Amino acid sequence: MNKTPKQCWMCDNAATTSEHVNKKTDVKKMFGSGTFKNVVKHDYDNGTKKKIQGSDSQLLKYSKNLCATCNNHRTQPYDFAYTQFEAYVRNNFDELKKSLFINTNNIFGKRAAKKQRCNLFLYFVKAFGCQLHDRGLPVPQVLREAVLGKNYGNTFRISICLDQMKMQFIQNFPLEGDQINGQPEDFFWAQDNGFFAVAYAYNRSIPAKFGEEWHGKTPQFKLGMWPITRTFWPDSTLLTK
Ligand SMILES: [Zn+2]
C-alpha cells in the first residue's frame, strides 16, 4: 500500500517530523554549524538553484514523513551507528583507499559489532525508505518490517564506494527503478557525503565497482572506488559552497 505523505512510513501513525535527506552530521561536517554563508543546493532534476541558510533548512529535509517516536526514539540507535561509521571512514580515509576493505569490528569493537552492524544497516534502510516515500512510492513491506526489528532477508543491499579524493560537495543521485505491469519492481539510488557514496539497491544487484554488496550481517566487506571525478551527475542534487 502506498502511504499518504501524512503517515509515518514505518508505523502508520501521523507523520509529524521531517528527516534530513542527507544526514545532518554529514551536512555540518561539510559546511559547518551556524548560518551558512554561500551554500547552494543545485537541483538538476528541475533546474533550480537555492541558497541554504543552515543545516536545519527545510530545503535539506523531506516533507513530514515520520512520527516523532520512529524518527527520534526507534531509529536513534541506527543514526548513532551511522555517525560512528562515517567518522571512522573520514578518519581513516587514506588507509581505506589503499586497502579498499572495511572491518566493522574495528569501528564498533568486537563485542558490540554484531548489534551495531545491524543498526548501521537499518540506518541505510531508513535513508532509503525515506527517499522512496518522498517520491510517492510504496516502501516495500520487508523494509518497513526491518526498521521495526524483524528479519529482513536479502532483497535490499548497500555498498560503500570511496570518492577518489575528499570532495567539497554533497550529492544525491537520481532514484532509478524498473516497473513490471506498472508496478515498481526494483530500485537503485546513491548519495555521496564528500568522502564516500552509499549505493542502495532493492531487488537489483549493485555493480562490483561500487563495492561489495552488504546486508549488515558480515563483519567485513570490500569498498568500491567511485570511478569518476566529475562534479555532478545529470539530474542529481548537489550541495556546494
Ligand atoms: Zn512512526
pLDDT of 239 above 70: yes
Ligand 1 center–CA 61 separation, angstroms: 17
CA of 127 to the centre of ligand 1 (A): 14
- For 61, 82, 179, the CA distances from 19, given in Å and listed in that order, are 6, 15, 27
Q: State mean pLDDT over 33-55.
A: 93
pLDDT given at position 4: 53
CA 142 vs. chain centroid, Å, equals: 18
- Mean of pLDDT values over 24-52: 93
At position 166, the amino acid (one-letter code) is: K
pLDDT band at 231 (very low <50, low <70, confident <90, very high): low
Q: Please tell me the distance between residue 152's alpha carbon and the centre of ligand 1 in angstroms.
A: 18
- Tell me, in angstroms, the distance from the centre of ligand 1 to residue 74's CA: 8
Calculate how far, in angstroms, residue 100's C-alpha sits from the geometric centre of ligand 1: 37
d(Cα 212, Cα 234) in Å, to the nearest integer? 25
Task: Decide if pLDDT at 3 tops 80.
Answer: no
Q: Provide the whole-model pTM.
A: 0.95
- 109: CA distance to ligand 1 center in Å? 30
Task: Using the mean position of ligand 1's atoms as its centre, give its distance from the Cα of residue 122 in Å.
Answer: 15
CA of residue 11 to ligand 1 center, whole Å = 4
Q: b or e along 208-232 (b: 16 or more beta carbons within 10 Å of the residue's beta carbon)?
A: eebbbbbbbeeeebebbebeeeeee
Question: What is the 13 CA–ligand 1 centroid distance (Å)?
Answer: 5
How many whole angstroms from 130 Cα to the centroid of ligand 1? 12
CA of 199 to the centre of ligand 1 (A): 25
For residues 212-225, average pLDDT = 97
Q: pLDDT per residue over 106-145, tens digit each?
A: 999 999 999 999 999 999 999 999 999 999 999 999 999 9
Residue pair 199/222 in contact (Cβ under 8 Å)? The answer is no
Judged against a pLDDT cut of 70, whether residue 1 lies above it is answered with no
